[in-house]
Structures are given as C-alpha cells and as structure tokens.
Structure 1
Amino acid sequence: MTQPAGPSPGLSPYAADADLEARIGRSLTEAEAARAAALIADASALIRGYTRQDFTFYADDVLVLRPVGSHLRLPQRPVAAVTAVVALSGTEAIPDWTVPPGCWQWDGADIVEVWPPDRSVWVSLPEWAYTTCGPDTYRVTYSHGYDEVPADVTAVCCRMVLAVLLAPTMTEGLVQERIGQYSYQYGQQLGAGSPGATVRMSEADRDDLKRYRRTAGTIQTRVR
C-alpha cells in the first residue's frame, strides 16, 4: 500500500475493531465500539513513542539530517529506497546542491554515506562547495515502512486496548467492588487491579516490541 508523497506520519492505527473482535470471539458491544477507536489510537501512539518507529509505508518521505562523520542514519525502517540527497547551503544567496549518486551511497539498510567535496576527485561540484562552509545538513528523500503492520505490533496494540475495554470498571487500580449483594474481585496479584480508562504499556508489551526500538540515530528535522 503506497501512500502519497509527503504524508504526515504517526497517525495510522495499528489495529482495527475486527482485530479486537477476532481476539474476544464476538462483536464489540455498542459501548465498547464507542471507545475502541480512541483506545486503539492511544495504544498506537504509545507504541510509536516507545519504538520510535512508524509502521505505515510512506513513499518519498523527506527529512533533514545532520551526519555523524560521513554517515546519515535514516530513522525509519525498513528502508525501501533512497532517491535523493541534497546538501543544504544554509543561505538564500547560495543554492542547495543535489548531490550526484557518485557522491553518496545507500548501504541497503539504514545508512547513507556522503563523501565530502574533494576537488581532486569530484570535478563537477559547484564552485561555492570549495569555498563555503555550509551547515553540514542534508535533505534526504526516501521510502520506508511496511505494506502491512507487523502481526506482533497489532497483537500488542490489541492486548493494550482489550485490557482496558474488558475491565469491569474504569476506576484505575480498583481491586474489589461490592454492588448490592454481589462482590467482584478484579486483581489476582499485587498491582493487578483495574487498568482504568486509559491504555498502559506493560513490561510484556515492551519486551515484545523491543526488537523494533531505535535507541540512537542521526539528528533530524522533518520537512513538510
């Protein structure tokens, strides 16, 4: 599924009502359906925040990166293609320069290596490249993401949502409640009371998402 160029990432839900229904073996009630979309959106946002990844596919996404040495690390994975690298001049008096393919190389994973201007090697560089020190930033156009949200990401999203949606009460932390002659026990262990009205990410959720988590990357500024 290819998105239009230049989308606003970070908004796609990682599960749907049908995914929740498949896991509980019935249709959502009217009350559950009224809350499901917001809870799914919240869970998806927490997953993005933890992994620092957006699992939707984006074609020709554009962002500005500052290299570490000669390496530009692309923040979103998997990378499908890198189509352009532009050196930014940092001033209106000097135009930005589209770096030719011979001056940069994508490693097929998530690194773009940019070779610094060298008159002895690159004879076609603009004259200002030899005399001006720019901000050392690059505008990169690349396509990234998944055609479908990974199944384990959807599973975590559903687990986070259902913990809230199926809780007998929206009172966070409540373990036991008495209504008339009936007494209800919610928690089976220390800290296992009702999750309340909002989704939470558990240690089990983090463990399942750990392989997607980015812990370091190139300094970036998104361009829109």
Structure 2
Amino acid sequence: MALAPLATTADLDARRIAWDDEQLAETYLGVASAAVRDAAGVPISRVTSTVALYGDGSSWLRLPGPPIVSVTSVVLDGETVAPDGDGGYALIDGRLFRPYGWGVCAPVPRPVTVTYVHGLAEVPADVVDLVCRMAATAIVLAGEEDDGSGLAVSNIAAERLGDYAVTYNGESGTTEMELSDRTRSRLSNRFGGAGAQVVTVG
C-alpha cells in the first residue's frame, strides 16, 4: 500500500513554490517523501506496520518508529504471544516488555514479528520543508526543457575554454533526490529506524 506523501501541494503553496502541473508536483512530492522515509528507516507519519525483529534473553524489545501508539499482535518464533497474563507482553514507553524475555531456551536469537500502530499524527514542519525543497528542485529542473532534459544530472565541476578542459565531480549525486550522509544519519537517529525490517505497511 502506497503511503501518502509527507508534504502536499498546499505545502508548496505555503512556501510560494510555483507549480502548474499537479501530476508532476505530486509525483516529485512522492519521490522526495520516499527518499526521506528510506533515510529515516520508518514511515514517519502514522501507519500500521509489521516489523521483523529478533529477541534474545532480555525482557525488553524496542520497536522502531516512535511514538508507538498500540500493538495489534506479537508472534514469537511462530507462536502468538498474548498481551497479558503469564508469559504475555506489555507495551511500556515504546518498548515491549515480557518477563521471561524474548529468547528463553533458545541457543540463538528468536524471530519476533510485531504488528503495531506508530508514527506521528502530524509530520514535523522541518520534514515537510525538506520534502518541499527536494520536490521544488525537481519541478524547476523538469520545467527547464520541454523534453525533460533539464532533469539530467551534470557532474561537471569545472570547465576551461583555452585548450578546452573539463573536470568532473565523482562525488556528485545521481539525482537531486539523494540526501547527504549527514542528513540520512540525522533522520535515522531521530526516528529510530535502525535495527528492524519493515515487512509491510498498511
């Protein structure tokens, strides 16, 4: 299931970013949102996800993508775990607590599949702004040439006319949708996406 973009054309309007093709604007808002979510490691906005984790002898299991709103189901090594009672789990401060731990009597970490509701009810303003800026760059470039060649990325760093020479920048990104390592690290640390694989998002 496709997730709604983290920013809308109304957000572009609020920033006085010009656009005249709604399909194009929504396309790049979606692409930029996907890039930001990939860097964060979580959907950011509120969704229901199923994640695959691995439990060990610890009684605590951290769920990615805070805030954690509720847990729908927990399956430990193929067996459903009840939300209460003997051997059950409890959701405490965004983590699952199970008194017997998540890897009892197992020589290796045991797989835990959790379906839960998480994420922010409202996308943070700085994330909306980042998505809008990324989309705006693509919209401007797409409009520069009728054939779409404005979107072609140039990795030329310097040119000289006398005895013509050109220097290429091997560090340049493939598209304007690529985030810097610093921004990717900041998003990942902020939203806690490391250490879990999102299986499905609905």
Structure 2 stretches lacking a partner, 5+ long: 145-149, 157-167
1:12 is aligned to 4
In the alignment, is the contact (CA less than 8 A) between 2:50 and 2:201 conserved in 1? yes
In the alignment, is the contact (CA less than 8 A) between 1:68 and 1:218 conserved in 2? no
TM-score by length of 2: 0.66
Q: May I ask how many residue pairs the two structures share in their alignment? A: 177
Q: Pairwise mapping of residues 143-158 of structure 1 onto structure 2 (< 5 A)?
A: 143-158=117-132
**Partner SS state of residue 138, structure 1:** strand
Change (3 A) 1:203 1:76: closer
In the alignment, which of 153, 167, 173 is matched to residue 154 of structure 2?
Answer: 173
In the alignment, which of 18, 27, 30 is matched to residue 38 of structure 1?
Answer: 27
| 1:197 Cα offset (Å) | 6.8
Structure 1 stretches lacking a partner, 5+ long: 1-7, 91-95, 118-129, 176-189
2:38 is aligned to 49
In the alignment, is the contact (CA less than 8 A) between 1:65 and 1:220 conserved in 2? no
Identity of paired residues, percent?
A: 28
In the alignment, is the contact (CA less than 8 A) between 2:42 and 2:193 conserved in 1? no
**Partner SS state of residue 137, structure 1:** strand
In the alignment, is the contact (CA less than 8 A) between 1:50 and 1:213 conserved in 2? no
1:28 is aligned to 19
- The whole-number CA distance in structure 2 between the counterparts of 1:164 and 1:41 is 12
| 1:221 Cα offset (Å) | 4.8
2:199 is the counterpart of 1:216 = no
- The whole-number CA distance in structure 2 between the counterparts of 1:136 and 1:173 is 48
2:54 is aligned to 66
> Could you say which structure has the greater relative contact order, defined with CA pairs below 8 angstroms and 6 or more residues apart?
2
2:97 is the counterpart of 1:116 = no
- CA RMSD in angstroms, aligned pairs only: 3.9
Change (3 A) 1:220 1:114: farther
**Partner SS state of residue 157, structure 1:** helix
Change (3 A) 1:151 1:205: same
TM-score by length of 1: 0.60
1:101 is aligned to 84
CA-to-aligned-CA distance 1:104-145 (integer Å, 9 cap, x gap): 233312x2132338xxxxxxxxxxxx9999983334332201
In the alignment, is the contact (CA less than 8 A) between 2:56 and 2:109 conserved in 1? no
Structure 1 runs of 4+ aligned residues shifted over 6 Å read: 130-135
- The whole-number CA distance in structure 2 between the counterparts of 1:171 and 1:100 is 53
CA-to-aligned-CA distance 1:73-110 (integer Å, 9 cap, x gap): 2122211123543434x4xxxxx34335243233312x
